[in-house]
Amino acid sequence: MLKSMLNLDELEQLARRDLWVNRLHPAIKIAATLMYVIAITSLSKYALDKVLLFGIVPILIISIGDVPYKGILSKLIIPSILSISLGIFNPIFDREILMTVGRVGVSGGFISLFTLLIKAIYTISATLLLVSTTTIEALANGLAFYKLPKPLIMLLLLMYRYIGVLLSEVSKTMEAYYLRGHGKGVHISAWGSLVGQIMIRSYRRSEEIYNAMLLRGYSAGER
């Protein structure tokens, strides 16, 4: 999880650069990403050839937006495994040969499995590319453009900022717990007090931050 927090920083640093793609209006980028996802998912589960072509978009954005391939690829591993595990039964149930490569016949099940995997990779890359070229504040502006309720957008921004605060809070508590010689997991006798204490402490801190914001003239109604 600490790693994913570093990833959040990484994404943010990418998004903060002053590039042409990053400067585009966030509302356009959000709409484009959503349209791209809809276009891919509307293709049939056997349309491997058409789905493959959609890879041009992420490759172009990665090239123009100068996003490192490694950062995107490393985040695709777990979702890929998950989509394979859900499609793994396709080759078993669907054995009709739909395509031949040389002399080897490929069944519909394998085609639909690969289509599912490619779809997952492309749609997730598109979302990751959106946030690696757009800062959270810009995203919030984009969402406001689509008339999302302002308090909800404020909640999104605040929550995003608190993730870092909470992660350091939890990691400190866990370190203290393990240093006292407890095993690999939190014992049931400490479930309530450990989690509860973290929550109470974090809540107090969040109130302090919020009060500081109020003192600086913040109001949820306007922005």
Partner 1 sequence: MHMSDALITPVVGGTMLATSSGLVGYSVRKIKIDIFEKRLPLMAVMGAFLFAAQMINFAIPGTGSSGHIGGGMLLAIILGPAAGFLTMACVLLIQALFFADGGLLAFGCNLINLGFFTAYVAYPLIFKPITKKVLNKKTLMIGAIIASVVGLQLGSLGVVAETFLSGRTDLSLGLFLLFMQPIHLAIGLVEGVITGVVVHYLYSQNPDMIYSDHAISEVKTNKKLMIGIIIISLIVGGLVSQFASSSPDGLEWAMEKTGLSPGDDHEVVGWFESLQSKIAPMPDYNFEGDQSKQGLGTSTSGVMGSLLTLGITLILGLVIKRVRKRVKQVE
**48 token code pair:** 């491997």
160 forms part of the interface with partner 1 (CB under 8 A) = yes
- 28 binds partner 1, rule: CB under 8 A: no
Neighbouring C-alpha atoms within 13 Å toward the C-beta of 188: 0
Euclidean distance between the first and final Cα of the chain, in Å? 32
Least distance to partner 1, CB of residue 101, Å: 6
Burial tier of 134 (Cβ tally within 10 Å: 0-12, 13-18, 19+): buried
Q: CA quadruple 15, 16, 21, 23: dihedral positive or negative?
A: positive
Q: Is 120 in the site for partner 1 (CB under 8 A)?
A: yes
116, 133, 138, 142: residue in contact with partner 1 (rule CB under 8 A) = 116
**Rule CB under 8 A: is residue 53 a binding residue for partner 1?**
yes
| Contact status: 112 vs partner 1 (CB under 8 A) | yes
Alpha-carbon separation of residue 154 from 5, 51, 159, 218 (angstroms): 21, 37, 8, 11
Q: Is 98 in the site for partner 1 (CB under 8 A)?
A: yes
Binding partner 1 (rule: CB under 8 A), the pick from 14, 26, 128, 138 is 128
Kindly state the tokens that stand for 177: 């717990």
Subset of 55-74 contacting partner 1 (CB under 8 A): 55-56, 59-60, 62-64, 66
Taking the complex as a whole, the smallest distance from the CB of residue 45 to partner 1 amounts, in Å, to 5
Closest approach of partner 1 to the CB of residue 182, in Å: 9
Do 197 and 169 form a contact (C-beta atoms < 8 A)? no
Taking CB under 8 A as the rule, does residue 21 contact partner 1?
no
13 binds partner 1 (CB under 8 A): no
Q: 148 by DSSP, 3-state: which?
A: coil
Binding partner 1 (rule: CB under 8 A), the pick from 28, 176, 207, 223 is: 207
